[in-house]
Amino acid sequence: MSQSITAKAFKGGLFSIFMRFGNIGINIIVLSLLARLLSPLEYGVFGIITLIVGLISIVPASIGQSIVQIAQDDPAAVGAGNVLTLAASFLCCLMALCLAAILIPLIGLDAYHGAYFWMMVSLPLISMTVYLDSVLGHRHQFYRASVADFAGQVSGSYLATLILASLGQGVMALIWGNIIYYGVKLIGQLAGNASIVTKLRRPNSNIVKSSAWFTVIQLANYLGRSGDNLVVSHALGLPALGIYGRAYNLMAKPVLAVSGFVGSIFYPLLASVRSEPARFRRGYERATLFCALLGLSLGGYFIVHSRLIVLVVLGNKWDTAVAPFAVLAAATYFRLAYRVTETVAFAAGKVRSAASRQLIYALLVVVGALFGSHWGLVGIATAVCIALAAFFALSVSFANKLAGLATYDWLKLHIPSAIAVLLAAACSRLLLSHTHLSELLSLVLSTMLYWSIFTMIILMHSFINSKSETSLFVHSLILQVFKFDIAQRLAPNARKAC
């Protein structure tokens, strides 16, 4: 008998979730230290370079998605993906180096030639790790992917970056930390699995066509995700980009951790049951509940504690990031939930419709950010939130239609989480308004209160209204936790018995 979507996602994703959120805890500490060692200008320089790298890395990400969507365990398809990824990454690397004389003055990097050069040289390395993430997700090797990413983060993004920044290397600390991260991650991805990249096959027309459509989607998604940063760097300068980038990073890290789980685990699983409408709908409902619980709760937490989070994590010299952070936090749920709705379209093979929505979203972000730039960072952040809400409305209506889920039923999935967030936020706000403690202590106490009340209300609802979808989902997760714990306890005894 086949496993349910929830069971498969849990078994594949429990370790991934723990690793990602453990990673966030370490990241916050490192971010706090780096914010006191590096300036907004240095973060702005790194930000604009990574924007270029992100644009160039679109092709390998698209190839990986096409493999998951059409390959179905075809070794020849994976071999063709290797060829396409390597060829595209080396070509893009060469193009970026040839255009350096034009791009460097254009984006204001005249004093940072070395940073640009080393990041462009590392493009093939970055491209292969992006591609292999998709391949490992397609093979359901979530443990290997999580360990490789965590090892890369610790050795590169954390240790190497901190050491180099403390030695006064400035933006090069961020550059070399990023390169080491991808290098260690690639080694982890290939450990015991090197045959992935040794198989080379000639790409067939199906993979090329599918990759082309995913490239269009990824390009539109890139403009949607990064169009605001491009406008900030152009209209307000690199120091403003550094401030905006730190505000966005504080909000996005937890969201990216969860959305990475959705993309790497739910997408392959939904794609595998797209011919079974009942299981496909149930998988979509469970993913929506997952996003409602985490997306709404994170958004409420960020909004209530925006000032304290920025001042405690980044320090007083970053106080101008408080306002854009609070505005960006209002769209936390949309930023997470659209990953689920678009995953439904990808898993169902509706790639062209997804491309049209992404193009609309990109247009709204760029035009809105240009208009909002007249009001500074807050204006740009507000425009991005409005564009994201409009895009999500289009995306969720299409996903509900594909899954056969009525809008009313979709809304009902969010009611318990919304009530819990409102009550938890009200209590935390009341506590903060009547306490006059230090910023760190206030944040700690209010955080404990917020998440305690939210969790208590969700559990109370689950046991009082035991037949609701939220209750069934929570009960299923609790059951899987006990199963996982029992399996972990029995595993050593089973090995001894063998």
201: in domain: yes
pLDDT tens readout for residues 138-188: 666 767 787 888 899 899 999 999 999 999 999 999 999 999 999 999 898
- Residues 6+ away with beta carbon under 8 Å from 412: 468, 469
What's the confidence (pLDDT) of residue 421?
96
Q: How many angstroms separate the first and last alpha carbons of the chain?
A: 26
Q: What is the per-residue pLDDT for 350?
A: 74
Handedness of CA 221, 224, 225, 230 (dihedral sign): positive
pLDDT score of 385: 94
Please tell me the predicted confidence (pLDDT) of residue 447.
95
* pLDDT score, position 497: 38
So what's the pLDDT on residue 26? Answer: 82
Q: Give the gyration radius of the chain's Cα atoms.
A: 22
Beta carbons of 161 and 30 less than 8 angstroms apart: yes
Residues of the chain with pLDDT under 70: 1-22, 59-84, 134, 137-140, 142, 192-214, 258-275, 351, 465-498
Question: Is residue 306 situated within a structural domain?
Answer: yes
- Please report which helix (H) or strand (E) contains residue 476, including its range: helix 469-497
Give the span between the Cα atoms of 327 and 319, in whole angstroms.
14
Number of domains present in the structure of the chain: 1
The residue whose two tokens read 């970055």 is 126
Q: Is residue 319 part of a domain?
A: yes
Q: What is the pLDDT of residue 495?
A: 39
Q: What type of residue is 44? A: G
Q: What is the largest distance, in Å, between two alpha-carbon atoms of the chain?
A: 70
Euclidean distance between CA atoms 172 and 188, whole angstroms = 24
The pLDDT of residue 442 is: 94
Residue 92: exposure state from Cβ atoms within 10 A (0-12, 13-18, ≥19): buried
Domain enclosing residue 43, as ranges: 5-413
Q: What is the pLDDT of residue 308?
A: 95
Residue 485 located in a structural domain: no
> In this structure, how many other beta carbons lie within 10 angstroms of the beta carbon of residue 466?
11
**171-176-181 Cα angle (round to 5):** 125
Between CA 362 and CA 379 the distance in angstroms is 17
Note whether residue 431 is domain-resident. Answer: no
**Tokens 């370079």 label which residue?**
49
The pLDDT value given to residue 251: 86
What pLDDT sits at residue 314?
A: 92
How far apart are the C-alpha atoms of 116 and 109, rounded to whole Å?
Answer: 8
User: What is the predicted pLDDT for the residue at 264?
Assistant: 57
Closest CA to 158 of 130, 184, 190: 184
Provide the pLDDT for residue 479: 45
Q: Which residues make Cβ contacts (< 8 Å) with residue 155, sequence separation at least 6?
A: 180, 181, 184
**DSSP tally for the chain: helices H, then strands E:** 24, 0
**479 within some domain:** no
Predicted confidence at residue 486, as pLDDT, reads: 37
The pTM is what? 0.79
Q: How high is the pLDDT of residue 472?
A: 52
The torsion region of residue 276 among left (phi > 0), alpha (psi -120 to 50) and beta comes to beta
Three-state DSSP state, 413: coil
Write down the pLDDT at residue 44. 93
Residue 446 to residue 72: CA distance in whole angstroms:
48
Find the angle CA(75)-CA(81)-CA(84) to the nearest 5 degrees: 150
**Residue 157 within any structural domain of the chain:** yes
Determine, yes or no, domain membership for 364: yes
